[in-house]
Structure 1
Amino acid sequence: MKQAQDWSRTRLAMAGVGGVGGLSLWALVELLPDLIDNARLLLVLFIVVIGFFVVLMSLVGPNPVRRSVLPALGLSSVVAMLSLLASFRFAALEPFVDAVHPAAAVFIIYLVATPFISVRLEHGRAHQLDYDKLFQTAWGMIVRALAAVLFTWLFWGVVFLSDALLGLVGLNIIEEILEIEAMPFVINGTVLGLAIAVAHEWRAYVSPHLVLRLFRLLVPVVVPILALFLVALVLSGLDDAWKFFSETALLTGVAIGGITLVTVSVDRDAGHQVTLRWMVWMVRALAVLLLPVALLALWGISVRVLQYGWTPPRVLAALCVVNVLIYGLVYAVLALSRGAWMERLRRANVALALWSLALAALWLTPVMDAEKLSADAQLERILEGRATPDQAAVWELTHEWGRAGQQALDTLRTTADYPARTQILALIERAEQSDSQWDFQDEIKQQKVPEQAQELLAMVPVYPEGQSLPQRAFEGLHSYQMGRVRKGCETLTDDGAPGCLFLIVPFHPESGLTEGLLIYKTDRDTLEVRGYWLEDGVLVGGVRPGTLIPGTREDIAETALRDIREGNYEIKPAQVNVLTLGDTAIFPNN
């Protein structure tokens, strides 16, 4: 009876916490922006309020509400102050929010710190670093949250179906309730809090054990795949390693997944870890294989940085890779050691978690100012001539890297002599006048059109033989289209000829225009066909020509290039009926 009363109190408390949290979120979104003009104050309030309720709902259950309030408020306030500090890297708040990487640091802080706080509240200071309790608490929080979110989705499904059912008899009660501004927020929070409370009450059934056992089944699948990948790489003489500079995210994700599988396999203590001999060796092998994967990720990000310099996303990627490498190194050393290596790995996981927490917190401080590091690195590349105007991160310095970017621009303006100074200053001026990065880059590309058009004119063969196009012919094509044609030309046919050509065809002899088809290979191993005509010496049109045979594809077989070069084609009138309306003739696919 007493347990039922305790459960009822917990349910009411969690429903109340969730409802107040939902109401607070509504106020933050709908009311406070009209009352508070200071964007940074709004940021602090948003992080404190949202963080407070998320942490509080994570702590309550194993811990009573009254004991959880202050720790939740303390953690959310610390995160808010760190975020406020980081926001001053920018003159305005919007670029800080758009940067995304500060949000990643905030997420890591909450994810790692909350289980430590919960264990200390529930078991006392003496056990706050107890891996058994930290493991069970962390995974318990994740499973409760997932179960609650799934139930909340189900609840809203029932609500919408009920509304539709009542609507059949003309009753709009549910719709009218939901139209009250704050009501959806309050209901959502209340249901979520109630679901978390119930999930905790039935933790013996809604436990992480099933999830962890399912994860373990992946170990025998992942180990052979990783081993095969590494063996194939070695047998290739590492010739394929150069590709990994663009696959750092994939390799890092694989390593993080492997770390997770090792962690769930060693579990919380010796009584729950894997015990089958072959599975123990599988886990040991996975722990060792993580190190070369992490090294490949480090190689990938290193090549990228050496080629293009630092940017905030690359700084974040490098930090993640280094962290994964540390995990991989520790896991490999412990897995190769004798004795109770799983026990030592569990103890190491506590230290590694605290290390990750410290890195996430430092990311929001001047110690790890990604924008400053990136701006200084890109400035150095420009001043030393290692970055051409095309490669210079002018847009990022102007719009995305805050005060550090503006300081770099001031240096570029005041420095008297460095390579391509005139072009760089012109790009800076253009970036300051552009509303979007796409417009800025498109304008730059369009300025190169005359030069690209001349290069393309030399690449595209013109048929019939003896025919030619004017010098400015390809200036009518957009830079993006010229890039596609150029790529097609560089893709040779089976007989070694360029994968492109321009065929002059008098489709409308009475018009007096020079008309023709531009044909080039695509990435799909097909041919793209575009119809053009000359106006003032420039190709215009670019339309896909219609087919007179129903069902025929617009891209024709590759043999067409060879047939055209060898003259195996005819030009003749099309025998079709057309609908004539005055001077206009209409036919299908025209």
Structure 2
Amino acid sequence: MDGDRQKIENRLLMALAGAVAGAALWVLSEHWTDPGIDPALFVAAFAFVTGYATVALALAGPVPLARALWVALLVVVPSTVLLSVAGFRYEVSTEVLDRPHMLVGWAILVFFATPFCSVWAQDRSAVFSYAQLFETAWTLTVRYALAAVFVLGFWLVVFLSSALLELVEIDVLQQLLRTDWLVFTLSGAVMGLALAVLHELRDRLSPFLVLRLTRLLVPVVLGVIVVFLAALPLRGLSRLFGEFSSAGTLMAVTIAAITLISTALDRDRAHEVESPGLRLATRILAVLVPLLAGLALWAIVLRVTAYGWTPERWLAAYVAAFLMAYCVLYALATPWARWTSYIRMINVAMAGAVIFGSALWLTPAVQIYRMSANSQLDRFAQGKTEASELPLWQMHNDWGRAGRAALARLEAQADPELTDLVALAREAESRFAYDRGALTARRPGRVERLLTLLPVRPEGAMLNPSDIAGLPEFRLEALIDGCQRSLPDGRPGCVLIRGTFMPNAPADAQGMILSRVDEQQVDVTYILHDRPQAPRLRGAFDPLKEVWPTLSVEDLTAALDGEYSVAPSGVEALFIGGHVLAPGD
């Protein structure tokens, strides 16, 4: 009976703690935009309440609730101070809460520090024990995940019950759903109750099953990575690094691989993977992951070289650097007989490094906004970036005091175009509004730019401003980008071929535009200017092969050299490089 009573008391205490946490979060949400509260104070309150609610509930269970409440302060107080300090980078401190660049560092700090704090609270001598840290981290993750599922299930039941009672005109539950403070408080109470019950069932709901299932994915991920790396030389690096999202994908796969390696090696030698096949796959995966991390880092380097630094690229580079450290150390450990023990030691050391790096990220020692602003200003001063390509709206709205100081420096240059764009950045309510206004402001210059870039064939044919003045903005930008992807011989990566492709318009009012889209592919668009409004645009179709073809750089080079013909094929078509191109429907 005493045991049952203790369980009930513990459940009630955890539910009460969760309810208080939920109510505190509701109070924060209610005062999110309250002008009467000092912004710096609100940031501190947000970091403290959110962090304290999360960490205290995570610790409670393995650690008695009373002890968990004060031990949680060891994580929450430093992280609160660091986020508050980060808030001083902005004119209004609460802007930090809208900036993922800072919140990610704060969240990682809390996430990685909590298992250390939990182990310390239970056994101070085992605070660096990998076995204890590993089991604690996974137990916390599984408990929170299952508790969150239970909370969702609770509100699903409430919602369905409300719908059922409304059929007999009883709206009590509907009123509950409309009461924000009650929703927050109940959610917290249910979360606390679920965490208490899950701790009671820890012997039955340990992360053991999750880990055993997860490690089965090692050969699958290894196979995918091997195929990717084998296909990479055949497909070429240009497509891989064509978009910044490639770095994000590579880093996500690297994180997944690191997680799978850690789960396969488990908490100690007694629990690590024993199957020879899985063990070999894990070892090979540890050898290959530095290649993924290296490609991610290289993708970021290429992006920075082409467009300069931004806070997002600094964050990506920061994460990629830590991933590279993880992966290189993993690979260096694999040749040794005790490689599994070494990797477990590496995980402890790197977890400490991540905590330190996250804390450093939030301090004035790492000034990502100032460094980003200086990078963009230097590129502009060196002529590598046009005024219209500068991230002016982001400088004013997202880059804090350093960004606005950079705008003032740009404005002092007294360049008319730049002055107008800076004013637009300050007035625009959204990035979309700024981009739209900037496109409109620079359109005449962009049309003039395309006129100077786009060659016309046959020799002697002309391109008039009226032919392209009505092009949609995205088409104009795409054509300029294509022309600026120069060929190896230095000629533009585009050409307009005049011809009577449609019989209802003269040759000087229509043509086929070939424009480079990457290192290998060339897009083809038929353009017809037979009306005062915007020209008509169509894709190019091959009526013989019945496909919408994509041309190669060799075809573009042939077109610039005049190695093509325009001849009848139903209507007149462009014959080039084995393709027959006619205006599509």
Structure 2 length-normalised TM: 0.81
Instruction: Give distance in 2, aligned partners of 1:220 and 1:126.
Output: 37
Structure 1: state its 5+ residue gaps. Answer: 508-515, 545-553, 571-590
The CA deviation at 1:292 is 1.6
The CA deviation at 1:410 is 3.4
Q: Equivalent residue for 2:26?
A: 26
Query: Which stretch shows the higher mean deviation, 371-380 or 9-18?
Result: 371-380
Aligned partner letter, 1:366: P
Change (3 A) 1:480 1:414: closer
Q: Choose from 356, 379, 384 the match for 2:377.
A: 379
The CA deviation at 1:222 is 1.6
Equivalenced residues, count: 540
CA contact 2:411–2:419 (8 Å) conserved in 1? yes
Aligned partner letter, 1:433: E
* Aligned pairs (5 A) from 1:109-124: 109-123=109-123
Instruction: Give distance in 2, aligned partners of 1:334 and 1:268.
Output: 17
Q: Equivalent residue for 1:323?
A: 322
Question: For residues 333-358 of structure 1, what are the alpha-carbon distances to aligned partners after superposition, in whole Å with 9 as ceiling and x for unaligned?
Answer: 111122x2211221221111010011
Change (3 A) 1:413 1:261: same
Question: For residues 516-575 of structure 1, what are the alpha-carbon distances to aligned partners after superposition, in whole Å with 9 as ceiling and x for unaligned?
Answer: 9999899999998999764xxxx326799xxxxxxxxx98954499999738469xxxxx
CA contact 1:33–1:42 (8 Å) conserved in 2? no
Q: Equivalent residue for 1:304?
A: 303
Instruction: Give distance in 2, aligned partners of 1:239 and 1:525.
Output: 14
* Aligned pairs (5 A) from 1:541-560: 557-559=541-543
CA contact 2:512–2:524 (8 Å) conserved in 1? yes
* Aligned pairs (5 A) from 1:498-517: none
CA contact 2:496–2:512 (8 Å) conserved in 1? no
RMSD, matched Cα:
3.9
CA contact 1:454–1:472 (8 Å) conserved in 2? no
The CA deviation at 1:277 is 2.1
Query: Which stretch shows the higher mean deviation, 196-205 or 241-250?
Result: 241-250
Change (3 A) 1:487 1:50: closer
The CA deviation at 1:94 is 5.3
Q: Choose from 424, 441, 449 the match for 1:430.
A: 424
Aligned partner letter, 2:300: I
The CA deviation at 1:92 is 2.0
Q: Equivalent residue for 1:443?
A: 437
Q: Equivalent residue for 1:152?
A: 151
Question: For residues 172-228 of structure 1, what are the alpha-carbon distances to aligned partners after superposition, in whole Å with 9 as ceiling and x for unaligned?
Answer: 221133333421111111111111111111112222111111110111112232223
Q: Is 1:478 matched up with 2:472?
A: yes
CA contact 2:411–2:418 (8 Å) conserved in 1? no
Q: Equivalent residue for 1:220?
A: 219
Instruction: Give distance in 1, aligned partners of 2:480 and 2:502.
Output: 19
* Aligned pairs (5 A) from 1:250-269: 250-269=249-268
CA contact 2:502–2:571 (8 Å) conserved in 1? no
* Aligned pairs (5 A) from 1:43-62: 43-62=43-62
Instruction: Give distance in 1, aligned partners of 2:233 and 2:153.
Output: 50
* Aligned pairs (5 A) from 1:154-233: 154-233=153-232
Aligned partner letter, 1:437: R
Change (3 A) 1:387 1:95: farther
Instruction: Give distance in 2, aligned partners of 1:163 and 1:501.
Output: 69
Query: Which stretch shows the higher mean deviation, 191-200 or 406-415?
Result: 406-415
Q: Equivalent residue for 2:583?
A: none
Query: Which stretch shows the higher mean deviation, 300-309 or 324-333?
Result: 300-309
Structure 2: state its 5+ residue gaps. Answer: 486-493, 549-563, 573-585
Aligned partner letter, 2:212: R
The CA deviation at 1:403 is 1.3
CA contact 1:95–1:399 (8 Å) conserved in 2? no
Instruction: Give distance in 1, aligned partners of 2:43 and 2:80.
Output: 8
Instruction: Give distance in 1, aligned partners of 2:523 and 2:35.
Output: 59
Whichever of the two has the greater Rg, that structure is 1
Question: For residues 421-477 of structure 1, what are the alpha-carbon distances to aligned partners after superposition, in whole Å with 9 as ceiling and x for unaligned?
Answer: 554344323323333322333333234434544676796999xxx999974343233
Q: Equivalent residue for 2:491?
A: none
Instruction: Give distance in 2, aligned partners of 1:244 and 1:488.
Output: 15
Instruction: Give distance in 2, aligned partners of 1:263 and 1:360.
Output: 21
Instruction: Give distance in 1, aligned partners of 2:411 and 2:349.
Output: 47
Question: For residues 313-367 of structure 1, what are the alpha-carbon distances to aligned partners after superposition, in whole Å with 9 as ceiling and x for unaligned?
Answer: 11111111110111011111111122x2211221221111010011111111011
Aligned partner letter, 1:389: A
* Aligned pairs (5 A) from 1:240-251: 243=242, 247-251=246-250
Aligned partner letter, 2:76: S
CA contact 2:395–2:407 (8 Å) conserved in 1? yes
CA contact 2:247–2:299 (8 Å) conserved in 1? yes
Change (3 A) 1:151 1:529: farther
Question: For residues 279-320 of structure 1, what are the alpha-carbon distances to aligned partners after superposition, in whole Å with 9 as ceiling and x for unaligned?
Answer: 222111111111122121221111222222211111111111
Q: Equivalent residue for 2:559?
A: none
Instruction: Give distance in 2, aligned partners of 1:353 and 1:347.
Output: 10
Q: Equivalent residue for 1:343?
A: 341
Question: Helix, strand or coil: the match of 1:37?
Answer: coil
Aligned partner letter, 1:566: P
Q: Equivalent residue for 2:568?
A: 566
Query: Which stretch shows the higher mean deviation, 555-564 or 342-351?
Result: 555-564
Instruction: Give distance in 2, aligned partners of 1:481 and 1:497.
Output: 15
Change (3 A) 1:500 1:97: farther
Change (3 A) 1:350 1:502: farther
